[in-house]
Amino acid sequence: MLSQLPTLTEDRILSNDVLKINKLYEYFLASEYSQTFFYKEHVASLKYLLGTYSIEEDDLKMAIIETLEKMYSRYFDEVSVFCELVPEEIDSNAYLLNLNIEVTNNSIKNTLNRSVAITNNKIDILKNTNILLYK
């Protein structure tokens, strides 16, 4: 397990668990699967998953859970991910992706809850970006 998360920001390296859980989520949203040739199978990208698993809702949910668990387990002792897709009532091509990511490091739990509006298999609006629960 890695204790520090490198960044390309002025923070440089993150060792605080709360900052790491947020930054990893940001990476998941912003990453492009094709941004590297060396680590192609290891890039966690929501955009890629939306394009690859857009037809089968259950496959998309499982892919998101597996990808996030793999990504977060590099930095935390224990990881649990809950993923829910809630269809929009007005637009059949839109839904809300609700994520709950719970991590444990040195017996301290942190939970990140986020929602992302998806329209036509593209990220539309980020919601609840200020929710972070500590346990």
Q: What are 83-106's pLDDT values in tens digits?
A: 999 998 888 888 899 999 999 999
Helix (H, G, I), strand (E, B) or coil at 6: strand
Is pLDDT larger for residue 38 or for residue 113?
Answer: 113
- Whether 22 has a pLDDT exceeding 70, the answer reads yes
Q: d(Cα 51, Cα 107) in Å, to the nearest integer?
A: 36
Helix (H, G, I), strand (E, B) or coil at 38: coil
Q: d(Cα 98, Cα 83) in Å, to the nearest integer?
A: 6
Q: d(Cα 47, Cα 110) in Å, to the nearest integer?
A: 25
Q: What is the pLDDT of residue 20?
A: 92
Q: d(Cα 117, Cα 133) in Å, to the nearest integer?
A: 21
Q: What is the pLDDT of residue 30?
A: 85
Q: What is the pLDDT of residue 135?
A: 41
Q: What are 95-135's pLDDT values in tens digits?
A: 899 999 999 999 999 999 999 989 888 888 666 544 444 44
Domains of the chain with bracketed CATH: 5-134 (3.10.450)
Query: Which two three-digit tokens encode residue 89?
Result: 């009532």
Q: What are 60-82's pLDDT values in tens digits?
A: 999 999 999 999 999 999 999 99
Query: Which two three-digit tokens encode residue 6?
Result: 């490198």
Is pLDDT larger for residue 5 or for residue 34?
Answer: 5
